A and B are shown apart, each in its own frame.
Chain A
Amino acid sequence: MSGINIGILAVQGDVAENVLATKMAIEELGMEGIVTEVKTPEQISDLDGLVIPGGESTVIGTLSLVNGSLKKIKEKIASGMPVFGICAGMIVLSKKAKDRVVGEMDQPLLDFLDVKIERNTFGRQKDSFESEISMDKIGLFKFPGVFIRAPSIVEAGKDVEILSKFNEKIIAVKQGNIIGTAFHPELTGDISLHKYFVSLIKKKN
């Protein structure tokens, strides 16, 4: 294959929106590549990059564990594959997650992104909000933040770069080739963050 192969983990959640945003990002960057929905370890093993979309982190984690996808994603991350985790996807990437109300959770996680996450940190759906945020470190000075029952990062390890904060809460991070956001760029029509992620894949190859 000549171009890059980016997968969208298609277990549960807003997969189609990420397929579209990633395709547009590849096109605008003038790169060669394909975007596919992936569910199985075999499909994941072929990838150069992966997006874990928004959804319910307990569902995405549990079902990826059942068919061996979680193990395969771990191997691929260890070998350097860039991954973009959005909301639930960021939770699945993390080492530790607790819920604001329910407390400590025993849910399957990839145990890679060195952060501790508080789920539903802003409250329930009625508290979901839109707000303009910024990620100056990667050149995105204005970005439409769409926060849906969003998590935040309460502790970040020394290798974790903080890309954005909403007041005192950490809402976007980068650790090596891994990006995690608490908000949903795929719902906004602004593909600049997807473009940034895709460009990481280019650099690796």
Chain B
Amino acid sequence: MIPLSGDLGNTKGVVKEKVGSFGTTRGTSTLKRGFAHMLKNGVVMDVTTVEQAQIAEDAGAVAVMVLDKLPSDVRKAGGVARTASIRIIQEIMDSVTIPVMAKCRIGHVYEAMVLQETNVDMIDESEVLTPADENHHIWKWDFTSPFVNGARNLGEALRRIEEGAAMIRTKGEPGTGNVAEAVIHIKNVNTELRRIKSIYDAGDEQDLISVARELKVSYSLVEETASLGRLPVVNFAAGGISTPADAAYLMTLGCDGVFVGSGIFKADDAKERAQAIVLATTFWEDPDKVKEAQKMIDERQSMLGLDTKNLELRMQERGSTA
């Protein structure tokens, strides 16, 4: 079981109020992390319109992520990528029953505030958009809404959790249709988790302190993570997932679920592909079912994709040193 603790005490995001004859508390870690737990084994799909959001919901998406442009179009367009139009986010919130997420720029506290006021269910502080502050991510404990952040390795993941992220996803390389970077990122995290677990099991406190210094994160969080042998929050795969087999493969690496960005709505068979990726994520342990899912798509309809070696823009590097 993933612990739901991790509160910093009475942070700004925690709101206590009386509702009728009941005392209530909002914005706690249990509620933020618990929300992410409800998404487990599910697929979150990037959408840009109401129509796409409805296709996603019908296909069995566990949530939708609203963007102004799909990541591959962000890559093509260049310029500055910002949070999506509030009007479109609201239209989508009024037309689907599943949770609606939206992205804000890294470090852009006020884009995040606007999304919180809009009442999106989760905010993605995302490297797909142009960072507003490369050196500081948002201090997410100040918010009542939960956040998800990208990470390429254990240090990034733990630093984001320390800032209050309720959920982590791999960064991968967004908008490429190429799953290779996401695979590297999840394997990095797994290898580092195994390493700190073995240090913890050996009872070597001194070595664990040097890990905390190396990762630039508090000792208590390193210790908690090491004792669990996994991230203390839900961890999804993201970045370049295009086919049912991609999704199933990432599930075998220990991810709790997947985000699919351009992979669905940049393909020419979006509806079937959305359903197929959901099936493959649900039944990833059964190769026959994943084959059936893979059969639902036509590889000639997949997005062409990009080699991740010679990209002009590596979105994954944004905000990674902070």
Chain A residues engaging chain B, CB cutoff 8 angstroms: 10-17, 20, 39, 54-56, 58-59, 62-63, 66-67, 87-88, 99, 101-102, 105, 119-120, 123-133, 146, 148-149, 166-168, 184, 187-188
Q: List 18 A-B contacts (CB under 8 A).
A: A11-B41, A12-B282, A13-B41, A55-B41, A55-B42, A56-B39, A56-B99, A59-B61, A63-B282, A102-B96, A126-B27, A128-B35, A129-B24, A129-B31, A131-B24, A148-B34, A148-B38, A167-B19
In the complex formed, the residue of B with least CB distance to A64 is B282
Bound-complex Cα distance A52 to B116 (A): 31
Q: Which of A39, A59, A148, A166 contacts B35 (CB 8 A)?
A: A148
Instruction: For B22, list chain A residues within 8 Å (CB).
Output: 131-133, 166-167
B42 x A125 contact (CB < 8 A): no
Assess whether B26 is interfacial by the CB under 8 Å rule.
yes
Closest to A55 in B: B38
**In the complex, A130→B25 CA distance in Å?**
5
User: Are B119 and A126 within 8 A (Cβ)?
Assistant: yes
Partner among A59, A99, A184, A187 whose Cβ is within 8 Å of the Cβ of B42: A59
Does B62 count as interface, using CB distance less than 8 angstroms?
yes
When distances are taken between beta carbons in the complex, the residues of chain B under 8 Å from A126 are 26-27, 116, 119, 121, 144-145
B283 partner residues in chain A, CB cutoff 8 A:
39, 67
Q: Are A167 and B97 in contact (CB under 8 A)?
A: no
Q: Give chain B residues whose Cβ lies under 8 Å from the Cβ of A125.
A: 31, 35, 99, 120-122, 145-146
- Contact partners of B250 in chain A: CB under 8 A: none
CB A18 to nearest CB in B, in angstroms, measures 10
Bound state CA distance, A76 and B60, in angstroms?
Answer: 25
B21 lies within 8 A of chain A by Cβ: yes
A187 near B37: Cβ-Cβ < 8 Å: yes
In order of increasing CB-CB distance, the 6 nearest A-B pairs are: A167-B20, A125-B121, A129-B24, A14-B37, A99-B97, A131-B24
Q: Is the CB of A129 within 8 A of B121?
A: no
- Asked, given contacts A58-B60, A59-B42, A102-B95, whether A129 binds B26 with beta carbons under 8 Å apart, the answer is yes
Question: Contact between B42 and A56 (Cβ–Cβ < 8 Å)?
Answer: yes
Query: B-side interface residues toward A, CB under 8 Å?
Result: 1-2, 4, 19-28, 30-31, 34-35, 37-42, 57, 60-63, 93-99, 116, 119-122, 144-146, 278-279, 282-283
A25 and B98 alpha carbons, distance in the complex (Å): 31
A38 to B189, CA, bound (A): 29
Q: Nearest Cβ distance between residue A22 and chain B, in whole angstroms?
A: 12
Note all chain B residues with C-beta closer than 8 A to A63: 60, 278-279, 282
Contacts of B116 in A (CB 8 A): 126
Known A105-B97, A126-B26; further 15 A-B contacts with Cβ < 8 A? A12-B282, A58-B57, A59-B60, A101-B93, A102-B96, A124-B121, A126-B116, A126-B144, A126-B145, A128-B35, A130-B24, A130-B30, A167-B22, A184-B34, A187-B34
Cβ–Cβ contact B25 & A131, under 8 A: yes
Report B-chain residues with C-beta under 8 Å of the C-beta of A11. Answer: 41, 282
| B97 A58 Cβ-Cβ under 8 A | yes
B62 lies within 8 A of A55 (CB): yes
Q: Which residue of B lies closest to A98 (CB)?
A: B97
B292 to chain A, nearest CB (A): 10
Q: Which of B19, B24, B57 has the most chain A CB within a 10 Å cutoff? A: B24
Q: Would A187 and B98 count as touching, CB distance under 8 A?
A: no
Q: How distant is B58 from chain A, measured CB to nearest CB, in Å?
A: 8
Is there an interface contact between A132 and B23, defined as CB atoms closer than 8 Å? yes
Whether A130 pairs with B28 at a CB distance below 8 angstroms is yes
Alpha-carbon gap, A70 to B27, bound state (A): 35
Docked-complex contact B41 and A15, CB < 8 angstroms: yes
User: Nearest Cβ in chain B — how far from A139, in angstroms?
Assistant: 20
Are A146 and B31 interface neighbours, CB within 8 A? yes
Closest to B1 in A: A20
